[in-house]
């Protein structure tokens, strides 16, 4: 079976890069696009006459069985050693051969009343059980639960552990697995696709394999961004996952299962080396640091162990500027996965000269306005202009520390800057301290 699976997956790379979105409701930006199109190419799935795929349509037992048998390379013969099958399955049914094959191989069983219930929807736990049974894989009861909602006392606990270990069915954004949730066409396509990948490559599915690369022109990079995460490319770059279950509204303070990766750039107009810049950062931080590399670029990693801060990366780009990435997350059940997302995103960073352009004064002022009230990025954003003049300091400030007023003659604007939080509090036209 593994040889057959390998042949099924062999054409995947070529296909995914050349395939078009053939369905009106599945764009190339769809979370499950690669999985859906792979199974369509293999002849396992097809769309509807109106040009749709209906990715959110729930799958019934007969449909799931067909997709799983074909996806795992089981030869469907229609021969059954089970005699008379079920009272609700007859030879005229389109799914008869699939049910017969599955029964003869011990992949499925019916219900005590002698029915198969082909129209009944399939939940997440049932789908993974069918998949592993079709592939001839056995699981054992784990000693600890893979997810908070898959206790070892439940029949599906071993399947959940396999799904987690091989990243075939990851948790949802609340950190739970939801074994009872009805599976959709897109979900099942993703599950089968990931299983094929793990069988072919021999390791857990790479979550970031099909992420799309996005440009972040204000920080001179491109980076892979996870599906379903939001992102902004102008001003202060940000990639974020809001904790919608708890009504998180702002990306700056992640709730339990929320996360944000903020991106800013220090122009390094003095041309300092990475060694000098990193030495200065080490001298001025209270946290543990480690010099490393990010995708071949010299980098300094800062590890935090308090509050919602998780990690910082300072990355020296090819144009001599310093990219600063700050990862923030909550501490909910999804937290371990959020850390993995951060690391994978940062590891994909690439300097891209084509994204770099000289900003006009108007564009620079617009970016400064975007940074108003964003903690930790004030000094870096002000570095966009080189002619700041300190015109006044309010030593009492706003209760948290001194406030400075800087005026830029070239842009004819004044910023109100608070030191302790490194934040631009406000911006006014002209030279003034009357905010």
Percent of the chain with pLDDT over 90: 66
Residue 278 predicted with pLDDT over 90:
yes
Residue 109 has pLDDT above 80, yes or no: yes
Which strand ranges, in their side-by-side order, compose the sheet holding 230-232? 230-232, 237-241, 259-266, 322-329, 309-316, 297-303, 288-294
189: confidence class by pLDDT, cuts 50, 70, 90: very high
pLDDT score at 130: 96
Question: How many Å apart are CA 149 and CA 429, to the nearest integer?
Answer: 55
In the chain, % helix, strand, coil (3-state, to 5) comes to 30, 20, 50
Q: How confident is the model at residue 383 (pLDDT cuts 50, 70, 90)?
A: confident
DSSP H helices in 349-388: 361-370, 378-382
Phi-psi region of 247 (alpha: psi -120 to 50; beta: other; left: phi over 0): left
Q: How far is residue 410's CA from residue 394's CA, in Å, rounded to a whole number? A: 24
Give residue 225's pLDDT band: very low, low, confident or very high (50, 70, 90). very high
Q: How far apart are CA 130 and CA 404, in angstroms?
A: 65
Please check the confidence at residue 7 and state whether its pLDDT lies above 50: no
Output the average pLDDT for the chain: 89
Q: Does the pLDDT at position 345 exceed 80?
A: yes
| CA dist., res. 218 & res. 371, Å (int) | 12
Distance CA(66)–CA(74), nearest Å, equals 10
Choose from 305-319, 357-371, 419-433 the range with maximum mean pLDDT.
419-433
| C-alpha closest to that of 258 among 328, 311, 305, 307 | 328
Using pLDDT thresholds of 50, 70 and 90, give the confidence band for residue 10: very low
Q: Which residues of 331-355 are buried (b: 16+ CB within 10 A; e: fewer)?
A: ebbbbebbeebbbebbebbbbbeeb
Quote the pLDDT of residue 317.
97
Residue 358: its pLDDT value, please?
A: 59
**C-alpha to C-alpha distance for 400 and 418, rounded to whole angstroms:** 8
Q: How many CB atoms lie within 10 A of CB 267?
A: 15
11, pLDDT greater than 80: no
- Between 255-269, 314-328, 351-365, the lowest mean confidence (pLDDT) is in 351-365
Q: Provide mean pLDDT across the span 146-175.
A: 96
The larger pLDDT score, comparing residue 84 to residue 293, is at 293
For residue 5, what pLDDT is reported?
45
H helical segments located in 141-184 = 157-165
Write phi, then psi, for 322 (nearest 5 degrees): -115, 115
Please report the pLDDT score of residue 355 as a whole number: 64
Q: What percent of the chain has pLDDT over 70?
A: 91
How far are the Cα atoms of 26, 52, 337 from residue 29, in angstroms, in the given order?
A: 8, 16, 21
pTM of this structure: 0.77
For the segment 65-97, what is each residue's pLDDT rounded down to a tens digit?
999 999 999 999 866 654 467 889 988 899 999
Neighbouring CB atoms inside 10 A of 96's CB total 17
- Please check the confidence at residue 49 and state whether its pLDDT lies above 60: yes
Q: Mean pLDDT across the stretch 99-124? A: 92
Q: Where are the alpha helices (DSSP H) in 57-166?
A: 61-71, 96-104, 124-134, 157-165
pLDDT of residue 270: 85
Which architecture does CATH list for 212-355?
A: 3-Layer(aba) Sandwich (3.40)
Question: Max Cα separation, the chain?
Answer: 92
- pLDDT (tens digit, 9 = 90+) per residue, 400-431? 678 999 999 888 999 999 988 889 999 999 99
Angle (CA) 243-330-336 rounded to 5° is 100
For residue 377, give Cα distances in angstroms to 46, 107, 394: 49, 57, 20
Do residues 349 and 294 lie in contact, with contact meaning Cβ atoms separated by under 8 Å?
A: yes
Place of tokens 């991106």: 263
**Whether residue 261 has pLDDT greater than 70:** yes
Q: What is the pLDDT, as a whole number, of residue 91?
A: 85
- pLDDT number for residue 4: 42
pLDDT of residue 79: 66
Output the pLDDT for position 253.
Answer: 85
**Per-residue pLDDT averaged across 108-114, rounded?**
89
Confidence of residue 356 (pLDDT cuts 50, 70, 90): low
Residue 174 pLDDT > 90: yes
Q: Where are the domains of the chain?
A: 2-201, 212-355, 361-429
User: For the ranges 63-67, 199-203, 294-298, 431-435, which has the lowest average pLDDT?
Assistant: 431-435
Q: Are 22 and 46 in contact (CB under 8 A)?
A: no
Residue 83 Ramachandran class (φ > 0 left, ψ -120 to 50 alpha, else beta): left
């Amino acid at each position: 079976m593994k040889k057959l699976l390998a042949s099924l997956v062999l054409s995947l790379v070529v296909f995914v890069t050349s395939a078009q979105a053939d369905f009106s409701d599945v764009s190339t930006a769809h979370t499950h696009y690669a999985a859906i199109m792979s199974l369509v190419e293999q002849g396992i799935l097809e769309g509807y006459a109106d040009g749709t795929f209906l990715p959110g349509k729930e799958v019934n037992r007969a449909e799931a069985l067909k997709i799983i048998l074909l996806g795992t390379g089981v030869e469907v013969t229609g021969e059954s050693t089970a005699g008379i099958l079920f009272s609700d399955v007859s030879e005229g049914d389109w799914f008869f051969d699939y049910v017969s094959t599955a029964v003869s191989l011990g992949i499925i069983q019916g219900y005590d009343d002698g029915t198969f219930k082909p129209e009944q929807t399939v939940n997440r736990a049932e789908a993974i059980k069918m998949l592993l049974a079709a592939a001839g894989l056995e699981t054992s009861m784990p000693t600890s639960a893979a997810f908070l909602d898959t206790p070892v006392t439940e029949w599906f606990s071993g399947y959940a552990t396999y799904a987690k270990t091989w990243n075939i069915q990851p948790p949802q954004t609340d950190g739970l697995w939801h074994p009872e949730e009805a599976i959709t066409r897109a979900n099942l396509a993703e599950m089968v696709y990931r299983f094929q990948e793990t069988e072919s490559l021999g390791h857990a599915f790479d979550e970031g394999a099909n992420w799309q690369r996005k440009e972040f022109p204000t920080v001179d990079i491109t980076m892979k961004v996870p599906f379903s995460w939001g992102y902004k490319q102008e001003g202060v770059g940000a990639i974020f996952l809001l904790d919608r279950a708890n009504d998180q509204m702002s990306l700056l303070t992640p709730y339990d299962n929320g996360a944000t990766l903020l991106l800013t750039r220090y122009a390094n107009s003095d041309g300092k080396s990475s060694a000098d810049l990193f030495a200065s950062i080490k001298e001025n931080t209270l946290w543990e640091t480690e010099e490393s590399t990010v995708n071949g670029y010299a980098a300094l990693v800062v590890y935090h162990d308090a509050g919602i801060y998780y990690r910082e990366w300072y990355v020296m780009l090819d144009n001599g500027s310093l990219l600063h990435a700050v990862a923030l997350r909550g501490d909910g059940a999804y937290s371990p996965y959020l850390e993995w997302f951060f690391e994978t995103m940062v590891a994909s960073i690439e300097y891209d000269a084509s994204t770099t352009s000289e900003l006009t004064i108007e564009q620079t002022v617009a970016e400064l306005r975007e940074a108003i009230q964003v903690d930790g990025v004030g000094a870096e954003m002000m570095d966009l202009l080189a002619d700041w003049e300190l015109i006044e300091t309010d030593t009492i400030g706003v209760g948290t520390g001194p406030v400075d007023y800087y005026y830029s003659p070239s842009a004819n604007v004044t910023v109100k800057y608070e030191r302790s939080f490194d934040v631009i509090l406000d911006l006014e036209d002209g030279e003034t301290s009357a905010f």
